[in-house]
Structure 1
Amino acid sequence: MPTIAIPELYEFTDTVPYRPAISILLSLEQMSYAKERVKQSVKQATEEVEKHLLEHYPGEMVLLMTEKLRQLIESINYNSNKKSVALYLSPLFEKILYLDIPVNETTIVDESFDIRDIVSNKKQSKEYLVLHLSENEYRIYEGKGHSLRLILHNSASAHYASYKDILNEAAANNPGGAIAKELIWEHFLKHAANTLDILLNAYYLPVFVIGQTRAIDYFQRTTGHAASIVDFLCTLQDPAGNDAISEMLKPYISDWEKVRYTILKKQLGEAAENQKLTTGIKAVWQEASAHKGKLLIVEKNFIYPVEQTTGSIQMSPAARSYSSSSLVTNLVDDIIEKILEAGGDVEFVEDGYLEDYDRIALIQGY
């Protein structure tokens, strides 16, 4: 495998790893009571860290690390509007990363940091939207696991009342009753598509579309968010109630990893079509350095070593100053850190999945 040369890294190659390295991931999602809840989580994490330190390190090191941890905790910004925070510290350095991704809270006391721990501890929540289309109405549900909550309902009659002037004009220009009815119905479905677009711009979630064949066919031609749609579920008759819809979705919810891969594949295809996709380690690194990336997709065991000689590409300051306890140990990790710090997201996939993309791909916007 070729390597990318980085200047000034040579001075750290002979450094003995500095221990202990402490990593703490905390959730900030419940902002209304985040500070008190996080304080409780921090208290538990601190006790866990102190217990480990007392068992494995001398008293001077325990005092040093607990004081550094206390100072780092006091610097947490509870008004950051981020979903989570990562704390990293060793005898040599400390760092806080505010993240736009939810994480499972965890504490790690180890010999070295790994930025990939953040991605590995992401919450894989089974959240989605359901658009149910029929001739008389459309409904949009918010789904969490097997539970559904109706968040929007619009009937064809109410839609006609709101747009009757426009629709009456269309009907007058097409006096054939069947043609006029078709135009009105298509306008109704287009309104459903526009409503879904608005929701997806605010809440980027996968979508299931349910309806009879005619409605599905039209919606497939008009939607602007094909990459967000997991599947179109055609029915002979409309499912009656939440339980019937949940039953249709059960195979998908039970195999959510397949849903995740389906959406990633669609996102890659749409990004390539819209020229918003960058692939290959060097090109992706350059885009990430320019803060252009929003979603990084990378094979989970892909690493790209860095030689300790001069070259044109430089890693982040973290990579040059954290010694061997750094969050960043190779160019892929440097990219991951840049994306997370810029408010982006990272998804790991199985090795070989990105064979056509040189093992790493960056989407510049959803």
Structure 2
Amino acid sequence: MLKDELSIMQQKATRAPYVTIIVSFHETPPLDKKAALLLSEKAIREADEFLQKMYPKEATSLLESLRALLDDFDQHYDLTVEGLGFYVSPGYSRLVKFFFPVQKKVDIGDAFSMRELLYLEHYATKYMLVHLNEKSFHCYKGRLSSLEEINDGTFPWLFRDNYEYNQPARAGSYSGQAVVQGVEGDKSTNEANRLKTFYREADELLSAHLQDMPLVVVGPEKDISRFQEVSAHQKNIVATVKGNYSNVPQKELETRAWPVVRSWIDESQQSYMLQLMEEEWQHHAVDGMRDVWNAVNEGRGYRLIVEKDYTCPAFIDDKTGKLHLRSTKKPHQIIIDAVDEVLRLAVEKGGDIVFVNNGTLDNHGHISLITRY
């Protein structure tokens, strides 16, 4: 669920009730399809019980939409998902797959729950992956756990040795093959030099696709080392995966690569926390749900930093819009999760969202806001 898709969801889903069901497979055996379907079915039944009580007129059609989404997942089961999101309202339905741990949730109200969708955006960084060995150099565009191989007449870049000519070593034309010609000499030294030439050429061609994106390098350890010796893109390399995946389905390569990409994203996002400790930011930061709520409502939010699973039941004064963390005698509207609402407000007002690991913001009330002023 990327930003443009989230915008489409908000445009098409225009009528309440909005049903959000989050199903967690994190503790389910990864290959147990039956258990995953049973957990989803149980959550749908739980939602149906609420719908029958709260929205009896819409309950039947919404239940049909939920079951249709579950049937689709059954037919296109994905072993790599760690959770599902069912998003249904009158005239709209969407199933979202999560490739990271999520918490079980059944939410029915005036808007879809936003947290998991925004967290999916948190992981939606574009990256490049190259899979190399002594015979070939394959290049992929990556986002989340999906890889798309580049086949553009240049990639895959193939290696071919030619010893038929007694000429100085040189690279062949860029036609999808690297032809290295040379004089037979010390076998191991020549082989290493030829491979470095091969990887250097591939690295130069990679520039047109890579730009400033992070890069993951996959291959046998010795080949990764040779590539790193000659690559001009050292600063882009964020992770390496050792192993030869030339003769396995692409899904296995995706399954092996995604965890290291996810770990890199988590680590890089944590660096945002350093801003809270830098002196120049101290007078621009507010902590805790109540102060963060007020600042976001005033349009002062620049970057909202929140722990991944932090929740905060709260109440809103109908007249003043003031947030109360405890019930008052004044008229109020119950908010099931104030965090979800403040996330929505921050997005609407153009603020950035940064998720951090649970416990990271213990000294900041679990939520903090870098303000514009």
TM-score range, shorter chain: 0.3 to 0.5
- Structure number with greater CO (CA < 8 Å, separation at least 6) is 1
Task: Judging by fraction of residues, say which structure has more helix.
Answer: 1
Return the TM-score normalized by structure 1: 0.42
TM-score with structure 2 setting the length: 0.42
